[in-house]
């Protein structure tokens, strides 16, 4: 049976590809960038032992800065298509320019030269919708695959890692995230590893949805500020909509204890577990500069918080804690996710 999603029992079983127990997927996400999500994920990677890392923050990947991957496999990522005009067939009728809603087609009249007038497509503006190709009376437009980025399989001191790089101004980050997750699960299956640890994308957009859909558990990292509360609620509502069990971790909780209490209370109202509190500590910055995970750099303080949080997450994954059941009341619907 595929995609065994036992919603009400909290933790999902994931995708079964064989008789063995499939790897669980823990995805670390946040409502916005800069909450410390990747720093936490890197420490969890150091603590996890038997895990495959998946950097699904493909728009701004940075887990590799700590994990220092040694790339074993490098592949182009082709996620979309783009229109290309064959000037030898184009009659310059102009229909495609009129139909393109993205103003991606322009006159390419060479102006009195030996070449006939035609149209050209701005590759940065073309969204690949295919309308121009469909309606071109001369069949002069072809939709051609576009390389949007690259993906990699690497080895790190924490274990195997799948990561990617989306090209500048490129689309289809959601597809790339799905590809990274699929490859990470395949590697976990091949090597008999029981966990895929995902550094997810921030926000509530397409790459985040691709990061969390079907995951065993989402850890929402937030900060003790009003925007941190708002962002936590948005991403928690998203996780609930996709029926992904979620837990919350307040990073730098001691900078505003009252707000940390409020965030945790709101998280409880939504049926989320509290994964732990992580204090503010300049050691986090020093660890980054040293290219290390915080738990590799320090033993106590912040590193201790992270170890305790990791133990809690491991326990939730192992037990399928019923306290992690997500409330699917209407208040948690996607309509709660405001831009």
For 27, the enclosing helix (H) or strand (E) is strand 24-30
Q: In what order do the strands lie in the sheet with 195-202?
A: 70-85, 141-156, 159-166, 52-55, 195-202, 24-30, 217-222, 246-251, 273-278
**Radius of gyration over alpha carbons of the chain, in Å?**
23
Judged by CB, which is closer to ligand SF4: 144, or 311?
Answer: 144
Minimum CB distance to ligand SF4, residue 111 (Å): 17
Residue from the set 5, 129, 206, 274 that interacts with ligand SF4 by CB under 6 A: 129
State the Cα–Cα distance between residues 142 and 67, nearest whole angstrom: 41
Residue from the set 23, 54, 67, 126 that interacts with ligand SF4 by CB under 6 A: 126
Judged by CB, which is closer to ligand SF4: 100, or 250?
Answer: 100
* Stretch touching ligand SF4 by CB under 6 A, among 93-101, 144-152, 176-184, 283-291: 93-101
Q: Is 146 among the residues that bind ligand SF4 (CB under 6 A)?
A: no
| Of residues 220-279, those binding ligand SF4 (CB under 6 A) | none
Q: Is 119 among the residues that bind ligand SF4 (CB under 6 A)?
A: yes
State the Cα–Cα distance between residues 178 and 185, nearest whole angstrom: 11
| 3-class state of residue 26 by DSSP | strand
Judged by CB, which is closer to ligand SF4: 175, or 270?
Answer: 175
Minimum CB distance to ligand SF4, residue 314 (Å): 47
Residue from the set 96, 153, 259, 316 that interacts with ligand SF4 by CB under 6 A: 96
Minimum CB distance to ligand SF4, residue 97 (Å): 7
State the Cα–Cα distance between residues 88 and 86, nearest whole angstrom: 5
* Stretch touching ligand SF4 by CB under 6 A, among 26-34, 101-109, 175-183, 232-240: 101-109
State the Cα–Cα distance between residues 312 and 196, nearest whole angstrom: 17
DSSP one-letter string for 157-210: TTEEEEEEEEPTT---HHHHHHHHHHHHHHHHHHHT--EEEEEEEESSSHHHHH
Q: Are 229 and 262 in contact (CB under 8 A)?
A: yes
Minimum CB distance to ligand SF4, residue 101 (Å): 7
Q: Is 141 among the residues that bind ligand SF4 (CB under 6 A)?
A: yes
DSSP one-letter string for 275-337: EEEE---THHHHHHHTT--HHHH-SSTHHHHHHHHHHHHHHHHHHT-GGGPPP-SGGGSGGG-
Torsion of CA 225, 230, 236, 237, to 10 degrees: 170
* Stretch touching ligand SF4 by CB under 6 A, among 36-44, 131-139, 239-247, 294-302: 131-139
Minimum CB distance to ligand SF4, residue 95 (Å): 4
Residue from the set 49, 76, 94, 145 that interacts with ligand SF4 by CB under 6 A: 94
Binding mask 53-92 for ligand SF4 (x = CB under 6 A): ------------------------------x-x----xxx
Residue from the set 42, 45, 61, 100 that interacts with ligand SF4 by CB under 6 A: 100
Return residues touching ligand SF4 (CB under 6 A): 83, 85, 90-96, 99-100, 102, 104-105, 119, 121, 126-132, 136, 138, 140-141
């Amino acid at each position: 049976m595929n995609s065994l999603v036992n919603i009400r029992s909290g933790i999902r079983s994931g995708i079964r590809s064989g008789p063995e127990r499939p790897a669980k997927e823990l995805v670390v996400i946040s409502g916005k960038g800069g909450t410390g999500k990747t720093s936490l994920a890197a420490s969890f990677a150091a603590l996890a032992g038997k895990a495959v890392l998946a950097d699904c923050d493909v728009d701004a990947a940075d887990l590799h800065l700590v994990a220092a991957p040694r790339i074993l496999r490098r592949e182009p990522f082709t996620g979309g298509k783009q229109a290309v005009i064959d000037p030898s067939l184009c009659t310059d009728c102009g229909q495609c320019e009129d139909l393109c809603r993205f103003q991606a087609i322009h006159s390419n009249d060479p102006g009195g030269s030996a070449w006939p007038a035609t149209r050209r497509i701005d590759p940065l503006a073309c969204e690949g919708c295919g309308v121009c190709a469909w309606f071109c009376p001369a069949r002069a437009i072809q939709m051609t695959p576009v390389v949007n980025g690259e993906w990699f399989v690497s080895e790190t001191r924490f274990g195997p890692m799948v990561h990617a790089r989306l090209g500048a101004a490129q689309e289809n980050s959601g597809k790339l995230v799905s590809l990274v997750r699929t490859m990470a699960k395949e590697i976990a299956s091949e090597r008999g590893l029981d966990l895929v640890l995902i550094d997810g994308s921030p926000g509530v957009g397409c790459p985040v949805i691709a990061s969390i859909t079907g995951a065993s558990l989402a850890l929402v990292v937030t900060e003790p500020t009003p925007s941190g509360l708002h962002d936590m609620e948005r991403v928690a509502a998203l996780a609930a909509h996709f029926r992904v069990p979620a837990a919350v971790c307040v990073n730098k909780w001691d900078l505003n204890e009252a707000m940390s209490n409020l965030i945790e209370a709101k998280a409880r109202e939504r049926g989320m577990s509290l994964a732990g509190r992580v204090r503010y500590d300049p050691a986090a910055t020093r660890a980054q500069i040293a290219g290390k995970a915080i738990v590799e750099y320090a033993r106590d303080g912040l590193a201790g918080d992270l170890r305790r949080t990791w133990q809690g997450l491991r326990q939730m994954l192992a037990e399928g804690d019923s306290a992690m059941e997500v409330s699917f009341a209407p208040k948690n619907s996607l309509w709660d996710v405001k831009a």
